[in-house]
Structure 1
Amino acid sequence: MANEFIQTYVEKKTGIIQLDRPQAANALNRQMVDEIVEQMERFDRDDSIRVIVVKGNEKAFAAGADIDEMMDDSPLSLELTNPFAVWDRMMLIKKPVIAAVNGFALGGGFELALHCDLIVAAENASFGFPEVTLGVMPGAGGTQFLTKAMGRAKALEWIWLGQQMSAREALHYGVINRVVAPEMVKEETMRLAHQLAGQAPVAVRLIKEAVDEAVDTPLEDGLKLERKNFYLAFASQDQKEGMKAFTEKRSPSFKGV
């Protein structure tokens, strides 16, 4: 089925998901989220793709969720439709996912960016959770992801007040990775994506699993997983190629096996 609210294309070994609902500043309706997640999963299954990029347009990454769509929801309708279940599938993506953010990333748009592994933002980008001004709260992981990124006190402040933080503030608090000029966001994102695409895919996958585990796991358990994944890396041809290339003083050619 053709996508209605996103466009997709591939550059080298990077699969790109372009949010495409410009008339609504890329506000996320439920079909749009379904399309994003399903495309992430397709890229994740495609051996020719090593990195996934999610981007908006020059004016907005995604300016929140579609308020009109949820206005008449009830607790029972939300329980029955379970609209956030699809968001959980993003956390099962094994390949690196990078968000390229220009303009607004608010509400659900901020949550989408936080579901990505890395965030590259324009100097004029804005992040925030305005849900409190609508009488509600973040529901697709915002309270959890932001707290893990910046700590309880600052997360409470931003989410309670519903204020927007600048890209520089988000960088300062460790919420995002890089800030560049607006016209350089795509170039910097693709440069980072191509760097990651050149790394050993098996090692990249194992590293992502170990780092994600470190966020919530006691140190002893995290160390056990790290050790297991370290041993698993030695089952790959990439490990043999990487070490052989090092001893031969040449660049490795990783195949992802």
Structure 2
Amino acid sequence: MTGSSYRYLERQVQDGVLFVTIRREEKLNAMNDGMMAELTDCFLRIRERADVRAVVLTGTGKGFMAGADIEGYGSFDIGQFFAFQQKGREMYRAIETCPQPVIAAVNGYALGGGFELALSCDIVIASEKAKFGLPEVKLGLVPGGGGVQKIARIVGPFVAKELTMSGRFLTAEEGKSLLFVNQVTEPDKLMDTAAAFARMLAGQAPLAVQALKKLIDEGRDASLETAQAYDRSYLANLFHSEDGQEGIAAFIEKRTPRFQGK
């Protein structure tokens, strides 16, 4: 597999934004081994691309990603099942640690592993038709891609227990009220909204945007004093960067800065 020969992904770069579209519409974009390997490879490659300053991840048809392809579970032994879950974790981690900000444009079902995929991104913009949920309990299982701990940190333990123990689906508006959806749009405006937001991020100073992603993701599990020390360290490094000096000069000269990611 190479970046130019993906079976399940379509990619396109416009104005510094990479659009990654999952294409397995006949299965509501459900994950299998091949798709997980492609998404992992794709996001590991993105970090090396200076021409990409933001990413939009979406799906085709009625599904953003309707979780894992459960039909494959029936033939797994425990070792194969564990290996499948490990590949999923590697996929989510590749997205979480991608330096560039990643926007999930959720067009439809984001269930189980698909919800965990959205939670691995930095911003979630959802269609009014989107549905979110962690329904693994209905299979006698629990989510294995990090969704339990992530949703508990976002909505708190009481709501997280209600959502995961019931396995119920959430609307986009409910997701916004629970703070894991940033914006809700009409279905036909989803991609335009996501693209506009991504282009705005792509126009910011890339080193600063990447630093903010890292500081927020890593700082939330550190003590306040330690996290604030990280902030000051990154600030000092950015001040000495070419972009930092360009931003200050542009402000003083009352012109638009020209950030180069240096």
Sort the TM-score into its range (normalised by shorter chain): over 0.9
Secondary structure, in 3 states, of the residue corresponding to 1:121?
A: strand
* Aligned match for 1:144, one of 149, 173, 176: 149
Distance 1:147 1:70 in 2: 27
Q: Which residue pairs with 1:6 in the alignment?
A: 9
In 1: Cα distance, 2:130 partner to 2:83 partner: 35
Q: What letter matches 1:83 in structure 2?
A: K
Aligned to 2:67: 64
- Kept in 1, the 8 Å contact 2:54–2:102? The answer is yes
The question of 1:86 aligning with 2:65 is answered: no
Cα deviation code 1:56-94 (max 9, x no counterpart): 124211111110222232333334563334232322211
Q: 1-side partners of 2:236 and 2:124: how far apart? A: 30
- Per the alignment, in what secondary structure is the counterpart of residue 26 of structure 2? helix
Identify the match of residue 176 of structure 1 among 175, 178, 181.
Answer: 181
1 CA distance for matches of 2:61 and 2:176?
A: 20
TM-score normalized by the length of structure 1: 0.96
Q: Is the 8 A contact 1:167 1:179 kept in 2?
A: yes
Structure 1 residue 143: Cα displacement: 0.3
Flag structure 2 segments of 5+ consecutive residues without an equivalent. none
For residue 106 of structure 2, the aligned residue among 98, 101, 109 is: 101
The answer to whether the 8 Å contact 1:101/1:121 transfers is yes
* Equivalence for 2:24: 21
- TM-score (structure 2 length as normaliser): 0.94
Out of 132, 137, 162, the position equivalent to 1:157 is: 162
Percent identity of paired positions between Structure 1 and Structure 2: 35
What residue number does 1:200 align with? Answer: 205
Residue aligning to 1:73: 76
For 2:195 and 2:80, the matched residues in 1 are separated by 40
Aligned mate of 1:251, from 253, 256, 262: 256
Give per-residue Cα distances to partners, 1:31-68, cap 9 Å, x unaligned.
Answer: 10111121112122100110111111242111111102
Q: Does 1:119 align with 2:124?
A: yes
- Listed as ranges, the gaps of 5+ residues in structure 1 are none
Partner AA of 1:175 in structure 2: F
- Whole-Å Cα distance in 1 between the matches of residues 59 and 143 of structure 2? 21
How far, CA to CA, are the matches of 2:189 and 2:240 in structure 1?
A: 39
How far, CA to CA, are the matches of 1:104 and 1:85 in structure 2?
A: 20
Deviates more, 1:121-130 or 1:57-66: 57-66
Aligned residues: 257
Q: What is the CA-CA distance between 1:220 and the residue it aligns to?
A: 1.1
Distance 1:118 1:27, change over 3 A: same
| Partner Cα distance (1:218, 1:113) in 2 | 26
Structure 2 Cα separation of the partners of residues 121 and 93 of structure 1 = 21
